[in-house]
């Protein structure tokens, strides 16, 4: 790819580094190889990540991160006064340098105000002059997989790559809590469990049809005698309720009922996971769970899940990927995906 940086990152002179993490679960998963690469290149450095509260625990699971600072916005870091407060808090940490995985100009302003002397990242959002080590963001780099998007930036800065692998550990206490939750729904330890994530925070264009999720769930219950769990945030509850109401079999609707670490442990407990292109899809892949990922309006070339047991169901239509939140035409990218298409992949993964 041969991206250009204004100058190489001063790796040998950096012992205390701040990473500005990304803001959404799926994006965080796709930055973890970059975090691993920073650790590989700087094994003795203290690595701190600045992240929003709803993704902070994912970074805390990484063995390459020493500390996570939460960016409380909304909250105590709201407004200009809040940003100045955050900058003052970061200044007290005396960071030698920062790598901005987030693309926004705000990240550059905060770290400049915090007097962090070395500030590296893509020259996106008009922030190039605020960075001491800017990497040119080309049109070509925006078309590669997001994991490579971050790795290529680090390569331009002089970092070694740790590869593409993502493996999230699950804490013992969280695994035990997941078993307790499932036992409360009548699921025995060791019983085959299937998870589904039918929502997508970005918008309805990423969501497969609810009646097809319901029909698929019924088929899996009937033919594999496995309970089906519905995952999602509180914002996905209307979608999971719709699917639960259309299904003939009994589903376990967990949307909005767990915190992030609870969802991580419950997904890790699944023998199969079926999902739209979403943060939970990326979580399942990173946890090594056999995964069927359904893509419509988005591009599997840039945001496909990690994991050796991940397969993609996608129909090549002329208008996809459109990357729009709502389909402006006939939603053919999703309507062409039949229950049989997803079930056959699910059945194969369950038999492996």
84 and 191, same domain (yes or no) = no
> In the chain, how many domains are there?
2
* pLDDT number for residue 38: 98
- The tens digit of pLDDT for each residue in 45-90 reads 999 999 999 999 999 999 999 999 999 999 999 999 999 999 999 9
pTM of the model: 0.94
Taking 80 as the threshold, does the pLDDT of residue 1 lie above it? Answer: no
**Does 202 have pLDDT greater than 90?**
no
* 259 shares a domain with 223: yes
Say how many C-beta atoms besides its own lie within 10 A of residue 142's C-beta: 12
Tell whether 34 and 58 lie within a shared domain.
Answer: yes
Assign residue 208 the CATH number of its domain: 3.40.50.2000
Last residue within a domain, chosen from 129, 157, 185 = 157
Q: What is the pLDDT of residue 241?
A: 96
Q: What distance in Å separates the CA atoms of residue 263 and residue 269, rounded to the nearest whole number?
A: 10
Identify whether 60 is part of a domain: yes
| Contact by Cβ (8 Å): 337, 313 | yes
Kindly indicate the confidence band of residue 237, based on its pLDDT and cuts at 50, 70 and 90: very high
Residue 172 has pLDDT above 90, yes or no: yes
Tens digits of per-residue pLDDT, 322-349? 999 999 999 999 999 999 999 999 999 9
Same domain membership, residue 76 and residue 149: yes
Spatial strand order of the sheet with 228-230 comes to 252-253, 228-230, 194-197, 272-276, 291-295, 310-314
CA atoms of 66 and 60, how far apart (whole Å): 8
Q: Got the DSSP string for 96-151?
A: SEEEE-S--HHHHHHHHHTT-SEEEEE--TT-GGG-SEEE---TTGGGS-HHHHHH
CB atoms inside a 10 Å sphere around CB 166: 22
What is the extent of the structural domain holding 149? Answer: 11-157
pLDDT tens profile 298-309: 999 999 999 989
Mean pLDDT of 233-252: 95
| Domain annotation covers residue 166 | no
| Long-range CB contact pairs, 304-311, < 8 A, 24+ | 304/145, 305/281, 306/29, 306/30, 306/147, 306/164, 306/165, 306/166, 306/282, 307/166, 309/349, 309/352, 310/284, 310/285, 311/345, 311/349
Q: Are residues 49 and 16 in the same domain?
A: yes
- The reported pLDDT for the residue numbered 352 is 82
CA 274 to chain centre: 15
Mean pLDDT for the stretch of residues 217-229: 97
Do residues 264 and 198 both lie within one domain? yes
The strands making up 67-70's β-sheet, listed across from edge to edge, are 67-70, 46-51, 16-20, 97-100, 118-122, 133-135
Does any domain span residue 202?
A: yes
Q: Using one digit for the tens of pLDDT, what is the confidence trace for 272-319?
A: 999 999 999 999 999 999 999 999 999 999 999 999 899 999 999 999
Same structural domain, 126 and 196: no
DSSP structure class, residue 48: E
Same domain, 119 and 204: no
Q: Residue 230: enclosing H or E segment and its boundaries?
A: strand 228-230
Are 149 and 192 in the same domain?
A: no
Asked if residue 93 is part of any domain, the answer here is yes
Asked if the structure places residue 167 within a domain, the reply is: no
Residue 249 has pLDDT above 80, yes or no: yes
Q: Give the pLDDT of residue 167.
A: 87
Q: Are residues 145 and 208 in the same domain?
A: no
* The pLDDT value given to residue 72: 95
pLDDT at res. 101:
98
Burial of 280 (0-12, 13-18, 19+ CB in 10 A): buried
Question: Predicted confidence band at 201 (pLDDT cuts at 50, 70, 90)?
Answer: confident
Q: Report the distance separating Cα 221 and Cα 24, nearest Å.
A: 32
Whether 3 is in a domain gets the answer no
Q: Domain boundary residue among 103, 126, 157? A: 157
pLDDT of 320 over the 80 cut: yes
Burial of 273 from C-beta contacts in 10 A (0-12 / 13-18 / 19+): buried
Structure-derived torsion over alpha carbons of residues 60, 166, 205, 331, reported in degrees to the nearest 10: -170
Q: Are residues 269 and 315 in the same domain?
A: yes
Burial of 154 from C-beta contacts in 10 A (0-12 / 13-18 / 19+): buried
Per-residue confidence (pLDDT) for residue 26, from 0 to 100: 95
287/210 same-domain check: yes
Q: Which among 280, 228, 276, 233 is positioned nearest to 249, based on CA atoms?
A: 228
pLDDT of residue 203: 87
Work out the average pLDDT over 20-29.
Answer: 97
Looking at the domain assignment, is residue 183 inside a domain? yes
For the residues 267-272, what does the mean pLDDT come to? 98
Please indicate, yes or no, if residue 111 is contained in any of the structural domains: yes
Length, in residues, of the chain: 352
Considering 157, 180, 206, which residue would you say is the last residue of a domain? 157
Q: What is the CA angle 318-293-19, rounded to 5?
A: 100
Q: Which residues pair with 252 in a beta bridge?
A: 229
Instruction: Identify the band that residue 2 occupies on the pLDDT scale cut at 50, 70 and 90.
Output: confident
């Amino acid at each position: 790819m041969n991206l250009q940086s204004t100058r190489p990152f001063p790796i040998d002179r950096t012992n205390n580094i701040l990473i500005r993490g990304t803001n959404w679960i799926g994006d965080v998963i796709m930055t973890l190889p970059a975090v691993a690469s920073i650790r590989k290149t700087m094994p003795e450095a203290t690595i701190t990540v600045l992240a929003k509260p709803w993704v902070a625990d994912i970074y805390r699971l990484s063995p390459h991160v020493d500390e996570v600072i939460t960016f409380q916005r909304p909250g105590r870091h709201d407004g200009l006064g809040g940003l100045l407060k955050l900058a003052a808090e970061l200044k007290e940490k005396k960071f030698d340098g920062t790598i901005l995985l987030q693309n926004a100009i705000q990240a550059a302003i905060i770290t400049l105000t915090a007097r962090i002397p070395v500030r590296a990242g893509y020259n996106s959002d008009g922030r190039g002059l605020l960075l001491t080590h800017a990497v040119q963001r080309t049109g070509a780099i925006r078309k590669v997989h997001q994991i490579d998007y971050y790795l290529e930036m680090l390569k331009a800065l002089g970092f070694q790559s740790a590869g593409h692998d993502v493996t999230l550990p699950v804490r013992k206490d969280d695994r035990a809590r997941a078993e307790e939750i499932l036992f409360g729904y009548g699921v025995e330890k060791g019983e085959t469990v299937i998870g589904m994530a039918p929502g997508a925070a970005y918008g309805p264009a990423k969501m497969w049809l609810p009646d097809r999720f319901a029909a698929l769930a019924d088929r899996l219950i009937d033919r594999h005698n496995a309970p089906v769990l519905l995952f999602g945030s509180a914002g996905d509850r209307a979608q999971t309720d719709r699917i639960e109401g259309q299904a003939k079999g009994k589903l376990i609707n967990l949307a909005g009922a767990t915190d992030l670490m609870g969802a991580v442990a419950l997904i890790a407990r699944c023998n199969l996971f079926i999902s739209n292109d979403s943060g939970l899809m990326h979580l399942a892949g990173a946890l090594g769970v056999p995964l069927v990922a359904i893509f419509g309006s988005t591009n599997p070339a840039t945001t496909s899940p990690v994991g050796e047991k991940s397969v993609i169901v996608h129909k090549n239509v002329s208008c996809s990927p459109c990357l729009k939140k709502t389909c402006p035409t006939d939603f053919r990218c999703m309507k062409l995906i039949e229950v049989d298409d997803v079930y056959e992949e699910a059945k194969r993964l369950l038999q492996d």
